[in-house]
Structure 1
Amino acid sequence: MASLDTLTLPLDQTSGDDLAAAGLEYRRVDADGDDFRPFLQAVGRGFLGGESTDAEVDNSRLTLRTRRLTGVFDRAGAVPAMPVGTIDSWATALTASPGRTIDLWAISAVTVAPTHRRRGIARAMIGGELRTAKAAGFALAGLTVTEATIYGRWGFSPAAWASDVVVDTRRARWTGPQAPGRLDFVPKDSLVERLHAVHERVRVRQPGAVPGWDGRWRGLAGLAPGDKAAERVRAVVYRDADGVETGVLVYTIDERDDFSAHDLEVRTLFAADADAYAALWRFAIEHDLVGRVKAWLQQPVPPVQWMVDDRRAVTATLTDHHWLRVLDVPAALAARAYAAPLDLVLRVDDPLGLADGTWRVTIGDDGEAAVMPTDAAAAVEMTVGALGSLLLGGVRATELAAAGLVKAGMNECAALDRAFAAAVTPHLDIWY
C-alpha cells in the first residue's frame, strides 16, 4: 500500500463541511498549478522561513508533485490565494521491527496562519488526514514534530527518539575499533544515489525508520537551491574490505575564532555496520583544526560515547522525534515481531473513535501476534497514544503506567515489557 497514489483519494467530507461552516474553503493544491507557490509561501511562513526563489520553488515541485497537498483558504482575506492552513501527506513504509515494515500515512507541513488560530483549521486538517488514512486501510499515521504540545490531542505520541550529539574533540581520545576498510572523499553530485543506497540498508533494520527521498538527499548534500552552506559541504564514504560502500558522512566546517578549534557540523551520518560507524566517527573526531563535532538525529544512546576515553567529552541530548498514531489496532500489533509470549485482553481508549475497542492479544513462542476483538473484561487499559508509544518497544509499559496512561497490574505490565522489548532501539534518522 506504500505505493498507493494518495492523490486519487477524495478530501474528507466532514472536514470540508466544518470548514465551510466557518467560512473557509478546503481543497487540494496542485504542485504543477498556479496555487503551488502561495502554498509553499504559507508553509515557509508557518516555519518562520523566507520567501522561496524561483529555483527553490522548482526544486520543491520535484518532491511535492507526488504528495497530497491540501490547503485551507479564506477567500475574504487580503491575499485570498494564499492558504491560511497547509498540510502535506503521502504513503510510505515504517520499519516496525528489523526486516519488517508496515504501511504508514506520513504527514508533514502542518501550518496554521497566526491570524486564523482557534477556528478549527488544525482540527479539520489533521482529523481529515486520519479519517482518510483509516478509510484507505492504513493502520498507522506518523509525523515528526517541531512542537511537542500539539499532536497528542489527535492521538499521536512519541515512539522513536533521537539524540543531538556534541563531542569536545580536545578531550575525546579515540579508543574505539580500528575499521579494516577505507575512507574516500566523494563529489557532492554523487551523494543523492550514495545516501539513498546506504540509508536503504540501514532503515530496513531500524525500527522507527522510514525511507528517504531525492529531495531530502539533495538538501543534505548541499544540492538544493538556497542552501547558504552548500559551497562548504564535503562528504566521505567508507568501503569495507570487499569494496562495498557501507557508510557515508556529509559535513561542513564552521569557523570559530580559535582557528585550531572549528566546528565540524555533521549533516548526516549513515552507517550500515559497526565498522562504518566507527570509521566515520573517528574521521570526524580526529579531523584537523576541529574542536567540536556536532551531529543531530543520532541514536538515542549513541555508541560513540563508548569509543573515546572520556565519555563526558560526548554530550547527547535526547528528544522525542517520531510520533505515531494507531488507526487499526490488530494490524498495527501484527506488524512487528515480539520478544516473549503474551496472552491478555487489551482495552484501547480513542476519543476520536478510530481505534477504540477491546482485543485479545495472543503472542506465541514464534513472536507473532494474533489480535481479535472480544467482549471479555480487559486486564489492561491504555490510551491510543500510549499504544503508539509502546508499539516499537521504545517505551516500557511500567513507565506509562506510572504516568497514568496504562492501567494494569504489576504482572500485566511486566508481561507487556517482556513481549514488547525491542531487538533494536527505535530510531528515526531524518526529518519528514
Structure 2
Amino acid sequence: MIDSVTNAAWKAAPVDTGSQQTLAARNLDYRTLSHDGPAYDAWLQALARGFQDGERDDEQITVNRESTAYRRLTGVYDSAGPMAELPVATAASWIGELSVPGGRGIPSCAITSVTVSPTHRRRGIARAMLEGELRGAAAAGVPMAMLTVSESTLYGRYGFAPAAASSSWTIETKRARWVGPHPTGRVDFIPRARMRQLAPVLHERARLSSPGEIDVPLGHWDNIAGTRPDAKEAGKLRALQYADADGEVSGLAVYTVAGNDDDFTKAAVSVVYLLAVTDDAYAALWRFLLELDLVSTVKAHEQSVDEPLLWMIDDQRAATVTLRDHQYVRILDVPETLSARSYGAPGRFALEVSDPLDIAAGRYLLDVRADGRATVSALDGDAPADAVPLALGIRELSAAYLGGVSIATLARAGWVHTTDAAAAARTFGWHVAPRLSIWY
C-alpha cells in the first residue's frame, strides 16, 4: 500500500499555477476545495450533472462525502454565472498504487470525476485541468498517472494510452459444459457484509500478480458489495465465497439474477465481481455460476483478455467475448517507471521519447539484465553501439508499459521506429496479460 502521508501531501497541494493563470485569463477560477461544508455539496451536484445524473439528496451527499474523503478535489468556477457557487468543471484524484510486471507496485496519480458543464465547453477548461493534474503530480515526484475513461478519444492528447484492455463475456450455459478442474473445497453463500470484509484482504493478496490492478479505495468495496447506506436494490446482490479443504477463504464472487417471465428456465446471471487468489478458487466459482439451475446466460465484465475460463468449457463458441480499452496509464517519469517493472528478455535500448506536454521527453538508455530487472539512465551523446534504437512518443511507451501491446505491433502501426522491433517486443513483453477488475 502507498504511504498515506504521500496522499495527504497530494490532497494539500495547490492547483498548478500555469493552469490557474490560463483559466484566470478567461475569468475562471481554478482551485481545490475540501470535503467539508457547502462547497463540497455544490461540487458533487456539478459532478452528477456532468455525468447526466440527477441531483443528489442529503443522504447521498453524506455518504459520498465520507467515502471519497481520500480524494483531492478541484473545481473551476465562473463568478459571472447565476450559480457562481456551483463549479462549471470538476476533477478528483488521489495517489494510489499501480501493479506492474514483476509483482511490484508504483505510486500513481489516479484521476477521476472529470466533467465540464455543457455551457462551458470548448474553452480549454478540460485541457487546463488535465495538464494541471499531470504537471502537479510530476512535480510532486509521482512517476505515473492513470484513469478509466467514459470517452476514449479524449486523453491521448495528454499522453495517456490504453494499457490494460478488458473483456466482456456472454456465456450460453447449456452449451458450456464444464471440463475444467473440480476443486475439493466448498462454495457457500455469505452475507454481503462478510464479502465487504473479506474483499480488501483477498485483493491485497492478489493484485500485485496482475499488472494493471490498483489498490482499491475502501469505498469501492461498498459499491461492489452493496453495503453503502444509500445503495439501491442491494438485496438483489448475492455473495459467494470459496474455501479450500483447510477452510481458508481464497475466492469471492458477487452476482445478480434476472428472471425470465416467458421461460422460467432462462434466467440471466450478471457477475458483478469475481476475485480468486488461487486457481482452485477461480475454477470452483466459475463452475458454480455456469451450473446454476434455471439459468441460460451468464454475463461478466472487466475480465482479463486471457481468461483461463475459455479453456474450462468444452464449447468455446458458447462464449461471446468482446474487448475494449479500460485502464489508461501515462508515464510521468521514464527512469522511475521503466526501472520499476520486470521484463521478458534481456536487451539494451536507446530510447528517444517525445512528450506533447514536455514532462517526460528525453533520451534514455534502458539496460535489461538476464534476471529481467533494468537500469535506466539519461543518455547524453551517442548511444552505445549495441543499443537498439527505439523512437516513440510517451503515449506509445505508456501503452507498452504493462505488456498489453507488443512493441512490434506498434511499430507495424507506424507509432514506433526501431531497427529491431522483435527484440524490443521480447523485452517489453510479459507472460501475464494486464487487467483491471474495477472502474474508478
Q: Same fold (TM over 0.5)?
A: yes
Structure 1 residue 226: deviation in Å?
A: 4.3
Q: Find the partner of 1:424 among 432, 435, 438.
A: 432
* Pairing 1:117–2:121 present: yes
CA distance in 1, matches of 2:36, 2:267: 43
Flag the 1:291–1:227 CA change in 2: closer, same or farther, 3 A.
Answer: farther
Moved more, 46-55 or 142-151: 46-55
Aligned mates of 1:420, 1:2 — CA distance in 2 = 29
Once the 2 structures are TM-superposed, how far is the Cα of residue 364 of structure 1 from its aligned partner?
A: 1.1
What corresponds to 2:221 in structure 1? Answer: 217
1:49 and 1:302 map into 2 onto residues whose CA distance is: 34
Q: Do the aligned partners of 2:14 and 2:31 also contact (CA within 8 Å) in 1?
A: no
Preserved contact between residue 155 and residue 350 of structure 1 (Cα < 8 Å):
yes
Match of 1:275 in 2: 280
The question of whether the paired residues in 1 share the 8 Å contact of 2:28 and 2:76 is answered with yes
The equivalent of 2:386 in structure 1 is: none
What residue number does 2:188 align with? 184
Say which of 400, 406, 412 aligns to 1:390.
400
1:197 is matched with which residue: 201, 215, 221?
201
User: Which position in structure 1 is the counterpart of 2:81?
Assistant: 77
Q: What SS does the corresponding residue of 1:111 show, helix, strand or coil?
A: strand
- State the distance in 2 between where 1:12 and 1:275 align: 49
2:391 maps to what in 1? 381
User: Does residue 352 of the first structure (1) align with residue 362 of the second (2)?
Assistant: no
In structure 2, the partner of 1:144 is 148
Deviation at 1:116, TM superposition (A): 0.6
Q: Which residue of 2 aligns with 1:407?
A: 417
What is the distance in 2 between the residues matched to 1:213 and 1:279?
27
- Provide the secondary structure at the position in 1 that maps to 2:265: coil
- Residue in 2 aligned with 1:284? 289
The 2-side partners of 1:33 and 1:423 are apart by: 49
Checking the alignment, whether the CA contact within 8 Å between 1:179 and 1:278 is kept in structure 2 is yes
User: Secondary structure, in 3 states, of the residue corresponding to 1:138?
Assistant: coil
Deviations 1:278-314 (A, max 9, x none): 1111111111211111111011122211111111111
Task: Indicate if the aligned counterparts of 1:380 and 1:407 stay in contact, CA closer than 8 A.
Answer: yes
Length-normalised TM-score, structure 2: 0.95
Matches within 5 A, 1:85-104: 85-104=89-108
- Asked if residue 166 in structure 1 is aligned to residue 176 in structure 2, the reply is no
Partner of 1:53: 57
Structure 1 residue matching 2:328: 3-state secondary structure: strand
Measured in 2, the distance between the counterparts of 1:225 and 1:86 equals 25
CA separation in 2, counterparts of 1:224 and 1:47? Answer: 20
Which amino acid counterpart does residue 24 of structure 1 have in structure 2?
A: L
Query: Which of 322, 326, 338 matches 1:321?
Result: 326
1:301 aligns with 2:306: yes
Structure 2 residue identity aligned to 1:82:
L
Following the alignment from structure 2 to structure 1, what is the Cα–Cα distance between the partners of residues 56 and 285?
Answer: 34
Q: CA RMSD in A?
A: 1.3
Residue of structure 2 equivalent to 1:333? 338
Q: Deviations over 1:266-287 (max 9, x none)?
A: 1100011111111111111111
Distance 1:238 1:218 in 2: 20
Deviations 1:226-274 (A, max 9, x none): 4333111110100111211110000111122322111111110001111
CA–CA separation in structure 2 for the residues paired with 1:153 and 1:73: 24
State the match for 1:128 in structure 2.
Answer: 132
Counterparts of 2:34 and 2:129 in 1: how far apart (Å)?
17
Alignment partners' CA distance in 1, 2:221 and 2:357 = 36
Give the match's secondary structure for 1:56. Answer: helix
CA displacement 1:379-418 (0-9 Å, x = unmatched): 2100100000111111101111122210112x2x111111
Residues of 2 paired with 1:351 and 1:61: CA distance?
Answer: 35
- Give unmatched runs, 5+ long, in structure 2: 384-388
Secondary structure of the corresponding residue to residue 283 of structure 2 = helix
Determine if contact 1:229/1:252 at 8 Å carries over to the other structure: no
Among 37, 44, 47, the alignment partner of 1:33 is 37
In the alignment, the residues of structure 1 paired with residue 82 and residue 283 of structure 2 have an alpha-carbon distance, to the nearest angstrom, of 55
- After TM superposition, give the deviation of residue 340 of structure 1 in Å: 1.1
Deviation at 1:224, TM superposition (A): 2.3
Match for 2:169: what amino acid? V
User: Residues 147, 31 of structure 1: CA spacing in aligned structure 2 closer, same or farther, 3 A cutoff?
Assistant: same
Unaligned segments of structure 1, at least 5 residues:
none
Instruction: Give the corresponding residue for 2:110.
Output: 106
Letter of the 2:416 partner, please give it.
V
- Structure 2 distance, partners of 1:22, 1:377, is 45
Q: What residue is the counterpart of 2:260 in the other structure?
A: 256
Give 1:196 shift. 0.9
Please give the per-residue CA displacement for 1:162-184, whole angstroms capped at 9, x wherever unaligned.
Answer: 11111111211111110111111
Normalised by the length of structure 1, the TM-score is 0.97
Residue 66 (structure 2) aligned to one of 62, 66, 72: 62
The number of aligned residues is: 430
Q: Is the Cα contact below 8 Å between 2:101 and 2:403 reproduced in 1?
A: no
**Counterparts of 1:283 and 1:137 in 2: how far apart (Å)?**
46
1:13 to 2, 14, 17: 17
SS for the counterpart of 1:382 is strand
* TM-superposed deviation, 1:91: 0.6
Q: Secondary structure at the match of 2:300?
A: strand
Q: How far apart, CA to CA, are the structure 1 residues paired with 2:298 and 2:144?
A: 36
**Superposition deviation, residue 225 in structure 1:** 4.2
- What is the CA distance between 1:159 and its match in structure 2? 0.8
